[in-house]
């Protein structure tokens, strides 16, 4: 497969091109469906973007091998924003103005998505984000949707689990990126609703390599638990620092760490950590009648067989975003952008690996709290939390 080699010199220093699946279309064949994607395949958020890129490549190849969509092949163009919001904006502009895509998937992070959203709105290009923060879809933006669970849902799920275990006072650590800031705000609001107290509120940089000072302050506030709201590799470092300091209270993470990569980086310090997660991470443990079991198992087994690495919930978001887009195009019977946008908004009971989606004019995420499962890391693997 050819590599993208026509990046402008202005962007070449900051953008690492990734593989694009390009399928030859004869002059007599139907015009291809052009899907663009912006992911963080490199940089601080590669934790998210790498499995997303792999998933999109894998499943577009599968779709084309089975005849495409509406009898048309898919041309997928994937750009790497290098975990930088400004680059994401430039790449979205390139996809819209130069590549003439019918639809965009991405970005991997909240910051990059928010940098792309005005372009999607102004050019009326349906865009399905793979990032999580509530701000992406609240307030509703007509052409912008997202598939990950919201930070509001994650905060409520974690705090409800704390309350069930008699915890009412906790310390909060959040990163300074878009996801962490939004998560912090939603956690504080959820704590007020649930009558809980944030005894210490600390922040850290997404690229920080030692959070001992923040955890030391948290320990001094005598919390009953610590909750870390962040993405990327930093929360795994927090877990290691937490272990080194000998803190003996429960440690919770947000859904931004629902990946085997977190266990790999945190090592033994991951043991006992609890977090909300899509059903995908415990696919084999789902009840036979659970509608997510077959789709989750199929994706997990297919991805792991191809790439020889553990499945990731972040790759799962890419799977859901792509399949939801395909479903909408099929129902619309066209790639007309306005009609595809309407079809996405009319999505009902779409079973993905991240939940069962029902969109509406007032809800461009389409998930409720039942889409989250509380999981705990035991013996180096995720299990359903009790």
pLDDT, mean over the chain: 92
- Tokens, residue 323: 């399949």
Peptide bond into 139 cis (omega under 30): yes
Q: How many CB atoms lie within 10 A of CB 241?
A: 19
The DSSP bridge pattern shows strands 274-277 and 373-378 to be: antiparallel
pLDDT over threshold 70, residue 2? no
pLDDT in tens, 88-135: 999 999 999 999 999 999 999 999 999 999 999 999 999 999 999 899
pLDDT at 29: 59
Q: What residues pair up with 160 in beta bridges, in sequence order? A: none
Residue with tokens 């790759």: 315
Residue with tokens 């790639």: 335
pLDDT at 13: 34
pLDDT in tens, 178-236: 889 999 999 999 999 999 999 999 999 988 999 999 999 999 999 999 999 998 899 99
pLDDT over threshold 50, residue 312? yes
Q: How many CB atoms lie within 10 A of CB 360?
A: 13
- Tokens, residue 263: 């266990």
pLDDT in tens, 67-84: 999 999 999 999 999 999
| Centroid of chain to Cα 310 | 16
Average pLDDT over residues 23-44: 79
How confident is residue 22, by pLDDT bands cut at 50, 70 and 90? very low
Average pLDDT over residues 137-165: 96
Alpha carbons 384 and 386: distance in angstroms, whole number: 7
Q: What residues pair up with 39 in beta bridges, in sequence order? A: 80
82 HSE (CA, 13 A, CB side): 13
State the pTM of this model: 0.87
Residue with tokens 């198992």: 297
Average pLDDT over residues 261-283: 96
DSSP string, 234-303: HHHHHHHHHHHTT--S-EEE-GGG-BHHHHHHHGGGGTT-EEEE-GGGGGGGS-TT-THHHHHHHHHHHH
pLDDT at 16: 42
- Tokens, residue 287: 């009840």
pLDDT in tens, 327-381: 999 999 999 999 999 999 999 999 999 999 999 999 999 998 889 999 999 999 9
How confident is residue 27, by pLDDT bands cut at 50, 70 and 90? very low
Alpha carbons 3 and 11: distance in angstroms, whole number: 16
The DSSP bridge pattern shows strands 373-378 and 381-384 to be: antiparallel
């Amino acid at each position: 497969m050819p590599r993208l080699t026509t990046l402008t010199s202005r962007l070449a220093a900051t953008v690492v091109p990734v593989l694009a699946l390009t399928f030859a279309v004869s002059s007599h064949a139907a015009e291809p469906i052009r899907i663009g994607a912006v992911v963080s395949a490199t940089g601080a958020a590669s934790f998210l973007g790498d499995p997303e890129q792999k998933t999109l490549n894998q499943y577009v190849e599968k779709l084309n091998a089975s005849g495409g969509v509406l009898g048309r092949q898919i041309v997928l163009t994937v750009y790497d924003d290098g975990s930088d919001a400004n680059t994401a904006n430039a790449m979205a502009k390139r996809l819209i103005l130069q590549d003439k895509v019918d639809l965009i998937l991405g970005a991997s992070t909240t910051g990059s998505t928010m940098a792309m959203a005005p372009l999607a709105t102004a050019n009326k290009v349906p865009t399905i984000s793979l990032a999580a923060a509530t701000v992406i879809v609240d307030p509703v933006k007509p052409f912008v949707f997202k598939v990950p669970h919201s930070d509001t849902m994650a905060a409520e799920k974690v705090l409800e689990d704390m309350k069930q275990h008699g915890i009412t006072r906790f310390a909060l650590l959040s990163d300074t990126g878009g996801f962490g800031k939004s998560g912090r705000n939603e956690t504080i609001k959820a704590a007020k609703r649930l009558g809980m107290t944030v005894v210490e509120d600390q922040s850290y940089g997404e690229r920080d390599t030692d959070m001992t000072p923040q955890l030391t302050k948290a320990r001094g506030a005598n919390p009953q638990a610590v909750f870390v709201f962040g993405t990327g590799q930093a929360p795994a470092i927090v877990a290691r620092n937490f272990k080194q300091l000998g803190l003996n209270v429960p440690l919770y993470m947000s859904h931004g760490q629902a990946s085997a990569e977190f266990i790999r980086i945190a090592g033994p310090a991951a043991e006992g950590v609890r977090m909300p997660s899509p059903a995908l991470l415990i696919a084999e443990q789902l009840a036979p009648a659970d509608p997510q079991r077959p789709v989750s198992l199929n994706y997990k087994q297919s991805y792991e067989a191809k790439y020889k690495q553990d499945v990731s919930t972040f790759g799962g978001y890419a799977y859901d975003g792509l399949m939801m887009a395909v479903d909408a195009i099929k129902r619309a019977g066209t790639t007309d952008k306005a009609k595809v946008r309407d079809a996405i908004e009319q999505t009902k009971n779409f079973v993905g690996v991240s939940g069962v989606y029902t969109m509406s004019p007032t809800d461009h995420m389409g998930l409720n709290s039942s889409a989250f499962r509380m999981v705990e890391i035991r013996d180096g693997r995720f299990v359903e939390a009790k």
